[in-house]
Amino acid sequence: MAEIIGPPSRVMRWCCTVFKTGAITRYVDSLYKNKPKIIVFQGIRHSESISRSKYDRESDSPKITKQRVVSPIIKWTDFDVWLYIFTRKLDFNGAYKLGFSRVGCWCCPNNGFWSEFLSKVFHPEQYYPWRDQLIKNAIDIGKKDPEEYVDSGAWKAKQGGEGIEYAKNNVVSFEPCALEENSFNYELNKPIDDNLYELFKPFGKINFDLGNQRLHEVVVMDKNNNIIIKLQGKKGDVHLKVSILTPRLAGSKNFKDAKRKIECQITKFQMCLNCSACMSVCRFDAIKIKYTQNRLVYKIDENKCVNCFECINHYTSGCYLKKVLATRDGMEGIKDENKI
């Protein structure tokens, strides 16, 4: 299971990605190393929800890009499923016998009032601490009547990074360099370390020798050994200057687009909590993220990376966590104007 640090009270909004997608990706990778595509069969059905009613019988997984997902029983009704189970005398989850119509991780079925009611009755030891946690969240984000907010189900609306310190603390500021066009000075909230350079590998080869050593310059080179990006910043320092030498970076249309892609990677450097989302979109198993001695280590294997840029382009900001923490008023999270 993915190891996660940070804002546990909001894991609910991204739990599937962290606890399901990430865990499945790691397991699939361990079974099918170096296979860029596999077929997975799942039991999803149209009648389960409005969003599921729009699913195709066969499609590429939007989260785990190496998976082609096939749903053979997509048109089955609940009746069909129960008939199949009873006539074949199959075992099934005991929660259905208690009246739950949908069973999964404990929190997820609580999205409905009926399941919530059943949880209160059958799982009070889990339900009430969960409700206390929701009320604490409601207080943190300044709801006038936290109990009403939770009990009415209003808490289920997406709140993004509202009220989360982690979002506030991860704003990265930048200003254009006055002397050089297409160079930008960033002030990070996290000192530069090896993870930063790893995150630039999808753009090209990292070379630690060719840059100006006095300026702590590291360069990124394309396949023809042309320098395409210069990174200037000392390890342990929070000031990073990025110079973009070509607009055709990672399939970019222009310098603005190239800058946006670079900022996707700086965002990851800044924010990563190992939710596994970007790792899951790499079909070539090139990304590995883990904690070693309480320190996150983000690695991209250059021998596996084919520079497809999927890990940069898949989420508009490059990082799923940033997407999750975005707020409606834009007052928290990572900003797009004078902030990344």
Contacting positions for ligand SF4 (CB under 6 A): 202, 268, 271-279, 282, 284, 286-287, 289, 300, 305-311, 319-321
Minimum distance from CB of 22 to ligand SF4 (Å)?
Answer: 8
Residue 66 has, within 13 A of its CA and on its CB side, a CA count of 26
In 3D space, the residue among 26, 17, 1, 41 whose CA is nearest the CA of residue 285 turns out to be 26
State which residue, 2 or 231, has the beta carbon closest to ligand SF4. Answer: 2
Query: For 97, phi and psi rounded to 5 degrees?
Result: -70, -25
State which residue, 255 or 309, has the beta carbon closest to ligand SF4. Answer: 309
C-alpha–C-alpha distance, residues 159 and 10, integer Å: 9
Name the 3-class secondary structure at 74: coil
Minimum distance from CB of 332 to ligand SF4 (Å)?
Answer: 17
Minimum distance from CB of 296 to ligand SF4 (Å)?
Answer: 8
State which residue, 82 or 291, has the beta carbon closest to ligand SF4. Answer: 291
Minimum distance from CB of 196 to ligand SF4 (Å)?
Answer: 12
- Helix, strand and coil in the chain, % to nearest 5: 40, 15, 45
State which residue, 28 or 279, has the beta carbon closest to ligand SF4. Answer: 279
Cβ of 241: how many Cβ atoms within 10 Å? 18
SS3 sequence of 205-261: EEECCCCCHHHCEEEEECCCCCEEEEEECCCCCCEEEEEECCCCCCCCCCHHHHHHH
State which residue, 262 or 279, has the beta carbon closest to ligand SF4. Answer: 279
Q: How far is CA 21 from CA 44, 100, 181, 323, in A?
A: 15, 24, 41, 16
State which residue, 55 or 309, has the beta carbon closest to ligand SF4. Answer: 309
246 contacts 257 by C-beta, under 8 angstroms: no
Minimum distance from CB of 313 to ligand SF4 (Å)?
Answer: 9
C-alpha–C-alpha distance, residues 336 and 252, integer Å: 18
State which residue, 95 or 287, has the beta carbon closest to ligand SF4. Answer: 287
Minimum distance from CB of 334 to ligand SF4 (Å)?
Answer: 11
Spell out the residues 6+ positions from residue 42 whose beta carbon is closer than 8 angstroms to its own: 69, 70, 71
In 3D space, the residue among 99, 133, 140, 96 whose CA is nearest the CA of residue 12 turns out to be 133
State which residue, 71 or 307, has the beta carbon closest to ligand SF4. Answer: 307
Minimum distance from CB of 79 to ligand SF4 (Å)?
Answer: 40
C-alpha–C-alpha distance, residues 243 and 106, integer Å: 48
Minimum distance from CB of 189 to ligand SF4 (Å)?
Answer: 15
C-alpha–C-alpha distance, residues 189 and 116, integer Å: 40
